[in-house]
Structure 1
Amino acid sequence: MKSNNVFAAVRGLMGLSVALSTMTNANATDVFNLEGYGPISRAMGGTGVAYNVGTAAMMENPATLGLMEEGSYFELGADVINPDIRAIDKNTGESVLSKNHGNNNGPYFAPELAYVYRHKDYAFGIGAFAGGGLGTQFGGSSFLSRTTTNDIDTGLDNFSRLLVLRIPFSIAYKVTDKLTLGGSVEAVWTSLNLGLLLDTSQIGNLASQGRINGSLVPTLLGVPGLSGGYFNFSHSGIVGGGASAWGIGGKLGLTYQIAPDTRLGVAYNFKADVGDLSGGANLTAVSSVAGNIPLSGRIVVRDFQMPAQLSIGINHKFSDQLSVSLEYQRVFWADAFKNINVGFVQNGTGANLNVLLPQNYRDINVFALGAEYRYNDKWTFRGGAQYAQEAIPNNTLLTIAPAIPTTHLSGGVSYAFNKDNVLAFAMSVGLQKTVSNDSQPNTAVPIKVTHSQVNLLLNYQRRF
């Protein structure tokens, strides 16, 4: 009977996770990753590989599912991401905020939905989590929409929206009283909106580096008074993108009780393997003579993957009330995000254009600290901090994809109505970070971008 209930819950959760994915939006944090999953990890600075963080273990370290008490758990939560992003032209002092311009600006909403069944030495789980993303929208009236070649106000909107949805299927097994192993296989859905104006000077710089090719190149070069080119693919709903694809990911993890009050946790998140994102798009040539000349076609964004990550953490219980977690992460961005590789094929003619926008992200180290204090049977308080090295080289910064905060402070509280019903809240603040880019080809003018944000998470857990 119990197994039938488990299978029924799994089928229901899969359907609900797909439904929720149509109601969510994108988010932006440490590069494209969230700074912790679930209210416990988020409030404790993103730590979670050596501590019971509830069903969010599927995103942190699936082995910690084995730390949950026996029973069936259902969790439902929502992130609210509130970014504050400003781009500044360093030459003129003009600035523009990424706010109130359309569907790609914040606040963003992201789901956390999960079911876990724990029995004796085994635990099984399935969930749906926003695994990362970004979102900007600067509108069509700022300096970002004006070409430096021929000084044309194009009216073209510069924006981006990325959502990475992960649906993990997880298992944990208690090998001994000290050692627990875990693993996850994930369905990964990536969707992207993008609107990007490139000045002719940027196009020339990309061409000189061999980063532009295709049969459309002579056609574009033949446009009289060519002043710029503009890619635009977008889904106007509150979720999804003009280009999207499904793929697979996975995690392995373990926990080891190295002392009665001290636990070690290790987890490895494999690089995602998602197909090339594809969808309908427009390529617009900006002419000082003929105005904007749009071409309709299909877009493909090749090899757009989320990175591998190694996490090592330790949790020490100082008393029945107080525990502290320390964690180190190594995120392998360099292998995942060297270029934004965009291809366009014109409808009808089959003529094509390929562009490689350099990114050259660096592998980074992330350090996190979190503490939990159980005040009584009902109230639990948490706090933490996280610092991540900067992944984005200054000279490849794109205004539409900053994702530059490196320091987060966090806190949270949970209230247990009883042992089977818990409501939890977490908040993290990404401290303002400023990055400048004075170099072609990713900007036509010297720019400065500032980015800060506040992330809120509310979660309800029911055990039955």
Structure 2
Amino acid sequence: MFRKSFAGAAIALSVCCTSTAMATNGMNLEGYGAKSHAMGGAGMAFDTGNSAVMNNPATLGYMKDGVSEIGIGIRGLHPNVDLNYSGMTDESGATGFYMPSLSYMQKDGNITWGAAVLSQGGMGTDYGNDSPLYQGGYSDASDANDPILLSGKDIRSEVGVGRVMFPIAYNLTENTTIGVSADFVWASMDLQMDMDGMHFGMMETGGSMLPTVTEGTLNYVRYDFSNGTPFIGSAVGYGTGFKLGFTHKLSKLLTIGGTYHSQTMMSDLESSNAKLTVVNTVDNTARTQEVSGKIKVNDFEWPATFAAGVALHPTNRLMIAGDIKYVDWSSVMDKFSTTFVADNTTANGAYAGKTLDMSMKQDWRDQTVYSIGVEYKATKRLALRGGASLSTNPVPDAYLNPMFPAITKDHYTCGFGYRVTDDTKVGAAFSYAPKVTETNGEGMVISHSQANWSFNLVHNL
């Protein structure tokens, strides 16, 4: 009874505390769990502990029969995003994201089962309310010699995705395991963004509100839905997904493994506490209208992933592991699409009850990630780890948006595992992603680097 109550309370607490994350490999983290993280994100063909539920659920079958354990973890991500445009510079103030994780696993005979919750990934930036790059723009009737002022308010974005997972692994034979995980997924978003009239005109737009928005000369439109909490964004959606996996020990030297993570099936992300500010000029008179309503982020999904890997054991103390992952970003990141529905109130004036659709092209490419890691057992209690994660950049330069600069590629990792007692062990990892610099279709130079860490504690109950 104690075990079940403790695990249930831990999972409920983690759901309340899971925060948004910053992009590393696209919007995925470069590794899940301190062991995998320290080994470059590899984890298809060896025991990665409770974090196997996010790597390859089949490797949970490596637990010892009769063991049950609780795991807690914390992940820190520290991105550095810089912008440069026409001699003006700025940097994102979103430099720290912290994400807890909790898990409970138990093995009974050939079956391992349990539950876990963690943040899967996301991205975010914060340029504050004094950014020189977001003070001015151009109306839909302006040229480069006729700039207009924007709102001067906060410019920020934050996207986060989390999962509650229920895995089962089964030892088919002494050498072969299979695993599956049923996942409950949630995603959330905050967005505070000015869009000048010129750029608004470049978007795919529609809806009954559009003629009123574009009446006269449109100066800018401001989107604002944010709840000010680091734990979950204002616009939220829910859905499901699943994972399948296997491992097979070919010999004492070599084990292989693979997994498939399905694309999610999510509801649209919705917030009923959104604001749309429209500033236009009609008959030489400036007109500002703040409109309250509901925002929907349409068709937000997390992509399918295919992964395979090997683990080599040249000696009892040394393990070398390598994975390859294929992430199907192109199926889910073709465009960023929203629908705003104005409240049908007198305060909203001519906009009451009307809708505005906006779609921004993204056209992300599929991503290939190569992971390699090494573990050396220095003593019976201490394991030293290192590795690297090398990937392609999924974001095309032409559509790179400074609000969503998911362009980091390579990560270099290290860490350790230490058995404190027979029942308690800890793991820690650190990774560094060197700066990647790209120039988008408008000539803005965007740079992004990261320093990340993770810590896990596992205790046998």
TM-score, length of structure 2 as denominator length = 0.93
1:41 aligned partner: 36
From 274, 278, 287, the counterpart of 1:285:
278
Q: Deviations over 1:348-393 (max 9, x none)?
A: 1210000111111111111110010110012111001011111011
Structural RMSD (CA): 1.5
1:312 aligned partner: 308
1:72 aligned partner: 68
Secondary structure of residue in 2 paired with 1:186:
strand
Query: Partner amino acid for 1:394?
Result: D
Q: Deviations over 1:168-201 (max 9, x none)?
A: 0000000011210000001101010012222211
Decide which moves more: 302-311 or 279-288. 279-288
Secondary structure of residue in 2 paired with 1:324:
strand
Q: Distance in 2 between matches of 1:404 and 1:293?
A: 36
CA-CA distance at 1:7 after TM superposition: 4.0
Assess if the C-alpha contact under 8 Å between 2:20 and 2:121 holds in 1: no
CA-CA distance at 1:290 after TM superposition: 2.9
Assess if the C-alpha contact under 8 Å between 1:27 and 1:109 holds in 2: no
Q: Distance in 2 between matches of 1:17 and 1:215?
A: 42
Q: Distance in 2 between matches of 1:29 and 1:292?
A: 39
Secondary structure of residue in 1 paired with 2:407:
coil
CA-CA distance at 1:291 after TM superposition: 6.4
Assess if the C-alpha contact under 8 Å between 1:58 and 1:125 holds in 2: no
CA-CA distance at 1:148 after TM superposition: 2.9
2:95 aligned partner: 106
Assess if the C-alpha contact under 8 Å between 2:301 and 2:332 holds in 1: yes
From 403, 411, 419, the counterpart of 2:406:
403
1:120 aligned partner: 109
Within 5 Å, give how 1:414-429 maps onto structure 2: 414-429=417-432
Q: Distance in 1 between matches of 2:387 and 2:288?
A: 50
CA-CA distance at 1:299 after TM superposition: 0.1
Assess if the C-alpha contact under 8 Å between 1:429 and 1:454 holds in 2: yes
1:442 aligned partner: none
Query: Partner amino acid for 1:26?
Result: A
From 331, 343, 346, the counterpart of 1:347:
343
Q: Distance in 2 between matches of 1:383 and 1:37?
A: 15
Query: Partner amino acid for 1:358?
Result: K
Assess if the C-alpha contact under 8 Å between 1:115 and 1:126 holds in 2: yes
From 250, 254, 260, the counterpart of 1:258:
250
From 357, 361, 364, the counterpart of 1:358:
361
Q: Deviations over 1:273-319 (max 9, x none)?
A: 11100002111123465365321111000110110000000000111
Q: Distance in 2 between matches of 1:145 and 1:433?
A: 26
Assess if the C-alpha contact under 8 Å between 1:249 and 1:271 holds in 2: yes
From 185, 188, 192, the counterpart of 1:188:
185
CA-CA distance at 1:110 after TM superposition: 0.7
Query: Partner amino acid for 1:119?
Result: D
Secondary structure of residue in 2 paired with 1:42:
helix
Q: Distance in 2 between matches of 1:5 and 1:87?
A: 52
1:232 aligned partner: 224
Q: Distance in 2 between matches of 1:122 and 1:360?
A: 42
The verdict on how the C-alpha distance between 1:331 and 1:178 changes in structure 2, with shifts beyond 3 A counting, is same
Assess if the C-alpha contact under 8 Å between 1:145 and 1:197 holds in 2: no
Within 5 Å, give how 1:10-25 maps onto structure 2: 10-21=7-18, 24-25=19-20
Query: Partner amino acid for 2:415?
Result: G
Residue 360 of structure 2 is aligned to residue 372 of structure 1:
no
CA-CA distance at 1:111 after TM superposition: 1.4
Decide which moves more: 278-287 or 186-195. 278-287
Residue 52 of structure 2 is aligned to residue 52 of structure 1:
no
2:153 aligned partner: 156
Secondary structure of residue in 2 paired with 1:456:
strand
Secondary structure of residue in 2 paired with 1:60:
coil
The verdict on how the C-alpha distance between 1:145 and 1:124 changes in structure 2, with shifts beyond 3 A counting, is farther
TM-score, length of structure 1 as denominator length = 0.92
Query: Partner amino acid for 2:396?
Result: P
1:147 aligned partner: 137
2:23 aligned partner: 28
From 124, 130, 135, the counterpart of 2:119:
130
Report the count of equivalent residues. Answer: 441
Q: Distance in 2 between matches of 1:438 and 1:183?
A: 42
Q: Deviations over 1:18-55 (max 9, x none)?
A: 2333xx34322111100110000000000001110000
Assess if the C-alpha contact under 8 Å between 2:399 and 2:441 holds in 1: no
Secondary structure of residue in 1 paired with 2:148:
coil
Q: Distance in 2 between matches of 1:98 and 1:405?
A: 15
Q: Distance in 2 between matches of 1:140 and 1:217?
A: 27
Residue 187 of structure 2 is aligned to residue 197 of structure 1:
no
Assess if the C-alpha contact under 8 Å between 1:6 and 1:117 holds in 2: no
Secondary structure of residue in 2 paired with 1:56:
helix
Q: Distance in 2 between matches of 1:186 and 1:25?
A: 18
Assess if the C-alpha contact under 8 Å between 2:225 and 2:274 holds in 1: yes
CA-CA distance at 1:17 after TM superposition: 2.6
Query: Partner amino acid for 1:52?
Result: D
Q: Distance in 1 between matches of 2:366 and 2:23?
A: 18
Q: Deviations over 1:72-110 (max 9, x none)?
A: 111111011111001211xx21011101xxxxx231111
Assess if the C-alpha contact under 8 Å between 2:180 and 2:242 holds in 1: yes
Q: Which residues of structure 2 form unaligned runs of 5+?
A: 140-146, 345-351
